[in-house]
A and B are shown apart, each in its own frame.
Chain A
């Protein structure tokens, strides 16, 4: 009998402690052992996760009003400029913004990490002064607990898939995909593969606007499609994109987030970025959702792109499965090339396991999207915008 579950049924099971929840890694193993249809019967929820560098991240902070009040027009946090072109004591601190005194060693991502880890941040603000906001400068120390509001808002996170990177030139390249040795010395890849949220719900059946997520160790939501969301990307079997495709804009209360789940990083000669912990629970509504969540890394593909070509359209050297990338080496034109990730699979696993435990303990219920993502499949077989799903192994 075909499996059909509703969000309400699943949430009732979560409430009563009867829910069957597994991580995507466990789901893949179940699928291999018993088949996806059998797994669909058993499992109510599959947890997915990722912990990778996500430059398009930052937070809106509100400092509360001073006496006399100031309308901040320029703001620095530990010498990192924040965008202050919004209301009087609001600002947006972006992850990649660099310190005016320390350069790439300290940036917006470090400010966010320091806030979450309870450290004190030096706030500096200036203003031309107005009749209603006479004060012209303000300097003080702030902590996350003392902030009026702190809302993480990441315009683009959780890339559905991402090209792997290599370098065919004769010199080392320092990129946001890490250090790329010359003459195809190594291949670097991102995404958590079989644990990756958007690869496990490739046609956005369950992830949509309003989906509750486990963000930075706290509570967050999908706010919108992320910037550069591109559902039209070429897809292999099951509608799985073979390169960068969907993205998510995520929002959450920074005050609920935990140390270790937002980590600042500096890619040498590239700059500052933020590693963001994201966990997403996929409700197993039917067998199609289960089959997608159980899809193994041998069937998840990306392209190895040549970062030696300084173009927006970097040429693809070959298509590769995540199973090959994870094995430690891939063959490119007869040469074994070492592979390594830039996102932490160990952390992704931990996040997926924690989300699983929260759901099993009744502490995290699932939300039906308020609106599907652009390009989402409806679950009735048609896949708007995704109709031309190519067979695996086709042209990149």
Chain B
């Protein structure tokens, strides 16, 4: 199953284009909008999760289509970065992560980050007392 998360940066002129509609209908993708910052008339940012339903959809084709439309694509694997030297393994970031992407390893008590669950809400960035979590956009 191919699943990928992408950030789409829309120029102002494209904000009202039905991009998701085409991704679903023409490319057979499941589109999950994780976060949207779109102000009509201005540029916008969408955080998508695209799922090709075990190869039934055309992920590559969908992304190429979006790019042809003039939307800038950034794939977002590893968007949240945790500085291992700064991290105290205190756990203060775990409770506030409602997506369940952060946990302590039950034997080593080191922080574990599962980026496939991360929805980039950034709550952990503020919650980390050591300033160890950064988001790179």
A residues neighboring B (CB under 8 Å) = 51-53, 174, 178-181, 185-188, 263, 265-268, 273, 275, 328, 338-347, 349
Does B11 sit within 8 A of A, measured CB to CB?
no
* Interchain nearest-CB distance for B98 vs A (Å): 6
Q: Find chain B residues with CB under 8 A from A339 CB.
A: 95
Given contacts A178-B129, A263-B130, A265-B129, contact A342 B96 (CB under 8 A): no
Q: Please report whether the interface of chain A is mostly helix, strand, loop or mixed according to DSSP.
A: strand
Does B92 contact A178, Cβ atoms closer than 8 Å? Answer: yes
Most buried by B among A179, A181, A186: A179
Q: Find chain B residues with CB under 8 A from A181 CB.
A: 95-96, 98
* Interchain nearest-CB distance for A189 vs B (Å): 9
Q: How many residues of B contact A (CB 8 A)?
A: 22
Does A179 contact B96, Cβ atoms closer than 8 Å? Answer: yes
Does A345 contact B129, Cβ atoms closer than 8 Å? Answer: no
Given contacts A181-B98, A338-B94, contact A275 B127 (CB under 8 A): no
Task: Please report the C-alpha to C-alpha distance between residue A215 and residue B127 in the assembled complex, in whole angstroms.
Answer: 27
Task: Please report the C-alpha to C-alpha distance between residue A300 and residue B88 in the assembled complex, in whole angstroms.
Answer: 24
Does B109 sit within 8 A of A, measured CB to CB?
yes
Given contacts A178-B129, A268-B127, contact A188 B92 (CB under 8 A): yes
* Interchain nearest-CB distance for A43 vs B (Å): 23
Of A53, A338, A340, which contacts B129 at CB under 8 A? A53
Q: Find chain B residues with CB under 8 A from A347 CB.
A: 88-89
B residues neighboring A (CB under 8 Å) = 88-96, 98, 100, 103-104, 108-110, 123, 126-127, 129-131
Does A51 contact B95, Cβ atoms closer than 8 Å? Answer: no
Given contacts A179-B123, A181-B98, contact A342 B92 (CB under 8 A): yes
* Interchain nearest-CB distance for A330 vs B (Å): 11
Most buried by B among A266, A341, A346: A346
* Interchain nearest-CB distance for A191 vs B (Å): 12
Does A342 contact B129, Cβ atoms closer than 8 Å? Answer: yes
Chain B, residue nearest A185 (CB): B98
Q: Find chain B residues with CB under 8 A from A341 CB.
A: 90-92, 104
Given contacts A178-B129, A181-B98, A266-B131, contact A349 B92 (CB under 8 A): no
Does B95 contact A338, Cβ atoms closer than 8 Å? Answer: yes
Chain A, residue nearest B105 (CB): A346
Q: List 9 A-B contacts (CB under 8 A).
A: A178-B96, A186-B95, A188-B92, A265-B130, A268-B126, A340-B95, A341-B104, A342-B129, A347-B89
Known contacts A340-B95, A349-B109; 18 further A-B pairs (Cβ under 8 A) = A51-B88, A179-B92, A179-B123, A179-B127, A180-B95, A180-B96, A181-B98, A186-B95, A187-B95, A188-B92, A188-B95, A267-B92, A268-B126, A338-B100, A340-B92, A342-B90, A342-B91, A345-B91
* Interchain nearest-CB distance for A346 vs B (Å): 4
Chain B, residue nearest A269 (CB): B126
Task: Please report the C-alpha to C-alpha distance between residue A268 and residue B96 in the assembled complex, in whole angstroms.
Answer: 13
Q: Find chain A residues with CB under 8 A from B130 CB.
A: 263, 265
Of B95, B108, B110, which contacts A178 at CB under 8 A? B95
Does B131 contact A185, Cβ atoms closer than 8 Å? Answer: no
Does B91 contact A185, Cβ atoms closer than 8 Å? Answer: no
Q: Find chain B residues with CB under 8 A from A186 CB.
A: 95-96
Does A179 contact B95, Cβ atoms closer than 8 Å? Answer: yes
Q: Find chain B residues with CB under 8 A from A187 CB.
A: 95
Does A275 contact B98, Cβ atoms closer than 8 Å? Answer: no
Q: Find chain A residues with CB under 8 A from B104 CB.
A: 340-341, 345-346
Chain A, residue nearest B85 (CB): A260
Task: Please report the C-alpha to C-alpha distance between residue A178 and residue B104 in the assembled complex, in whole angstroms.
Answer: 16
* Interchain nearest-CB distance for B44 vs A (Å): 25
Task: Please report the C-alpha to C-alpha distance between residue A118 and residue B11 in the assembled complex, in whole angstroms.
Answer: 49
Q: Find chain A residues with CB under 8 A from B131 CB.
A: 266
* Interchain nearest-CB distance for B123 vs A (Å): 7
Does A328 contact B89, Cβ atoms closer than 8 Å? Answer: no
Most buried by A among B89, B90, B93: B90
Chain A, residue nearest B108 (CB): A346
* Interchain nearest-CB distance for A216 vs B (Å): 14
Task: Please report the C-alpha to C-alpha distance between residue A108 and residue B129 in the assembled complex, in whole angstroms.
Answer: 15
* Interchain nearest-CB distance for B127 vs A (Å): 4
Given contacts A53-B129, A266-B129, contact A344 B95 (CB under 8 A): no
Given contacts A178-B96, A186-B96, contact A344 B129 (CB under 8 A): no
Chain B, residue nearest A349 (CB): B109
Of B90, B91, B93, B96, which contacts A275 at CB under 8 A? B90
Chain B, residue nearest A178 (CB): B92
